[in-house]
Structure 1
Amino acid sequence: MSDLFPPHLLCNIFSRLPVKSLLTFRCVSKPVCALIDSPHFIKTHLQQSLVSNSNRTIITASIHGSDIYYTDFDLNNAFATFINHPFTHSGAHFIASCNGLILLLTAKGSCVFETLSPPDPPNLDLVLVNPATRTHKLLPVSPIEYPVYYSGTECEFVSYGFGYDSVCDDYKVVRIAQFPDLVKNEVKVFSLKKIVWRRVQDFPYVLYATAQGVFLDGVLHWLATKRSKTEAVVIASFDLGTEKYGSLPHPRYSDMSDFVAALGVLGGKLCLSCDYDMRYIDLWVMEKYGVKKSWIKIFSVDQNVGIRFVQLKPMAYSDSGKEVLLRQDAGHIIWYDFKLKKISKKFVIPNFWKAHVSLESLVKLNCGDSTDMPTVKRKTKKSRQRDDFLSKAFNLKL
């Protein structure tokens, strides 16, 4: 095939194909395999997916973290694929995803959710997984460096962030350990390229909640306060390239009553959802990064539009941009129409607690990847109904 098409043309064509097809094409010939495995092609394919919003998937995790699956973004696929990892017996806590890699927090010898409170890094493991290529990499554990004056061996909580540093062409994990006095903390950065943890400047804020860092364009973001949890909340940032801290402005809220805020990314832009005691939720999007006036409230959803919810989390825009995918509590995913201001589609996915939009990619982990992760399929309600129909109509045993 490489003899019939120039390499640049073949690269252009292949970059528009799904990962599953590319993994199959690796068997065509050695030159084709070398092309698909090359760092240049992997980056080209990833960039094409990001620009075209293609190869998107939905990651779902059960409440105990024992079952983690991914399925097609359009939710029309009859099967969800089980994500295997080294600690399925103890469960895994989903941390973040970036460019097709997902970061999981797992426990050693016990349920991960029993170990998270209080957080104890020596008893926890971090693992990076690429579900599309079925590879994983266990990250080394780094002990927490407690303050000299601090006699305890526990911290209030630990927050993680994961993202891509385009300056160094490196994937980095950031860990913030918040100590009980709410003043001191410890921040360490793990480099996937160098396979090492480094301590960096302490976080200059107090984490507002135990939420994980939100990644966008080389920067991680957290909701935090300056000195105590009673002070005004700020949007703190950490640049993975420069490893410098900063802050971003909040929107000009139309309702200043009490609400619970949560950061996210929607359509490649930072977003902020404000939950007003489960009465209604406002969703803001920062159209121009770092500019206060660019915050726009794109919609407000209350309990009177046919949506009964405890939480609503924005996940992604539709391909047309006229709808937004929302996670409605546990087990429910809905499409919300902006213009009609109502639900256009609703999906019930059993046995999941949280859901996240991710990406399928060929991004490689460093040497020592595990390649023995079998693909396990589970049938959805749609496929079970199809099988029941076939067995009754044709007297088949399925």
Structure 2
Amino acid sequence: MARASYSVSAKSISSEVFNLKSHSWKTVQVSHIDINNPVEIGIFSNGSVHWLASQGGDLNRRNTILSFDVKEELFIETALPNVTCTEYTGFTCLGDLKGCLYALYGGCDGVDMDVWLMKEYGAVNSWSKIIRLNWVEFDVDYGMHPLCFIHEDDVVVDLDAWNIVRYNLSSKTMKMFKKCSTDWHLSLVYTESLVSPYG
């Protein structure tokens, strides 16, 4: 069993492995990169957990992706797509679409949403912008982010953590999913499996 622990005061994240024989945790690696949102759950994709992170001082601060390879028990830093970020926007979250890691640029505070997909995992030059969603077209107040693809042209988008829509990229039409509650929500995507996680 492995875990990653973030220290707010030290601005570092450490990976630890639990030893069943000694019933104790052992630190295997420490990374001194600042996780942008330490309370956010990391995104699991391609056998690793990923976080948006930043490194360097205030003047030369750069955004990056910090990932923890669960099998190798190693932290790896990966560059984000080469996009000029402004003070008011930037990369807001990571996710997994069709088994590929994606980075979301914009999608909040009135900025259109661009989805950048890493088509070949670990290859920085394989980042490709696959979707641009117009802020005005979706009539959102706070933010939007993609959840999954249903078919090649249909993407499910969470709007303001309030509504979920199915959007067709070719026809630019959307269909609202029926709400199951009147509260804000957190959307998660899972894949059904016949394999039990308990062995």
TM-score normalised per structure 1: 0.43
- Tell whether the 8 Å contact from 1:305 to 1:342 is kept in structure 2 after alignment: no
- Tell whether the 8 Å contact from 1:176 to 1:203 is kept in structure 2 after alignment: no
Between 1 and 2, higher relative CO (CA 8 Å, sep ≥ 6) is seen in 1
RMSD, aligned CA:
2.6
**1:229, distance to aligned residue in structure 2 (A):** 6.8
Quote the residue 1:224 is aligned against.
53
Quote the residue 2:30 is aligned against.
202
The equivalences for 1:216-365 within 5 A come to 216-228=45-57, 231-253=61-83, 256-258=85-87, 259-260=89-90, 261-275=92-106, 277-318=109-150, 320-350=151-181, 351-361=183-193, 362-365=195-198
> Relative to structure 1, is the Cα distance of residues 229 and 272 closer, same or farther in structure 2, using a 3 angstrom cutoff?
farther
Distance 2:167 2:19 in 1: 39
List runs of 5+ in structure 2 lacking aligned partners: none
1:325-353 deviation line (CA, Å, top 9, x unaligned): 11112331111111123323433231352
> Relative to structure 1, is the Cα distance of residues 219 and 242 closer, same or farther in structure 2, using a 3 angstrom cutoff?
same
Distance 1:191 1:285 in 2: 36
Secondary structure at 2:80's aligned position in 1?
coil
Quote the residue 1:149 is aligned against.
none
List runs of 5+ in structure 1 lacking aligned partners: 1-171, 367-398
Q: Which has the higher helix share?
A: 1
> Relative to structure 1, is the Cα distance of residues 201 and 310 closer, same or farther in structure 2, using a 3 angstrom cutoff?
same
**1:289, distance to aligned residue in structure 2 (A):** 1.3
Distance 2:96 2:176 in 1: 22
1:349-398 deviation line (CA, Å, top 9, x unaligned): 313520111123341337xxxxxxxxxxxxxxxxxxxxxxxxxxxxxxxx
Q: Which has the higher strand share?
A: 2
Structure 1 or 2, whichever has the larger Rg, is 1
Distance 1:358 1:252 in 2: 30
Q: For this pair of structures, how many residues does the alignment match?
A: 191
Secondary structure at 1:358's aligned position in 2?
coil
